[in-house]
Amino acid sequence: IVKEQGYSFKCYIIGEGSERQNLVKYIDKYNLSSQVILTGFLMNPHEYLANSDLFISTSFSESFSLAIAEALVANKPIIASKTIGACELLENGRYGVLFDIDNEEQLANRIIEFMVHKGILAEYQLKSRERATIFEIESFVKQIQQVIK
């Protein structure tokens, strides 16, 4: 959808899974091989994350997303499907943009919003930085102190 609307992009899909063959067929069918790259499993995906403008999570079901947590710590704007984990980590859209699971058009529209309105990228980078503080050791110490009291 993003390509059909004339936008230029590069998307790296990191990881392995049962959907790989379906992704390969989809990429071939829609002539996306220069835009969508399947990296497979990477021991250290942080280089890709560091060089990206945006992090997208399209999970169907996830109770906690380590990938979203890593994107927050890397101060990346996040677009994520409305899984339990994403909604909790992003506080129902406060710290990232959410889309309905299995709604490709809504996802494409969210991506295009970030591409067209560059200020949104900067805004959500700041929000990611703000939210990432929950992973700092000081936050854990404060939480433990509250429990002990």
Span 25-65, pLDDT tens digits: 999 999 999 999 999 999 888 899 999 999 999 998 888 88
User: How far apart are alpha carbons 48 and 45 in whole angstroms?
Assistant: 6
Asked whether residue 30 is domain-assigned, the answer is no
The residue ranking higher by pLDDT, 143 or 127, is 127
Give the CATH number, domain containing residue 104: 3.40.50.2000
pLDDT at 135: 81
Domain of residue 63 covers 44-148
Q: Is the pLDDT of residue 86 over 80?
A: yes
Asked whether residue 38 is domain-assigned, the answer is no
Asked whether residue 27 is domain-assigned, the answer is no
Q: Tell me how many domains the chain contains.
A: 1
| For the chain, counts of helices (H) and of strands (E) | 7, 5
pLDDT at 65: 87
User: How far apart are alpha carbons 93 and 95 in whole angstroms?
Assistant: 6
Task: Name the pTM for this structure.
Answer: 0.85
Asked whether residue 107 is domain-assigned, the answer is yes
91-137 pLDDT per residue, tens: 999 999 999 999 999 999 999 999 999 899 999 999 999 999 888 77
Asked whether residue 9 is domain-assigned, the answer is no
pLDDT at 145: 77
pLDDT at 140: 64
Asked whether residue 5 is domain-assigned, the answer is no
Asked whether residue 73 is domain-assigned, the answer is yes
Asked whether residue 139 is domain-assigned, the answer is yes
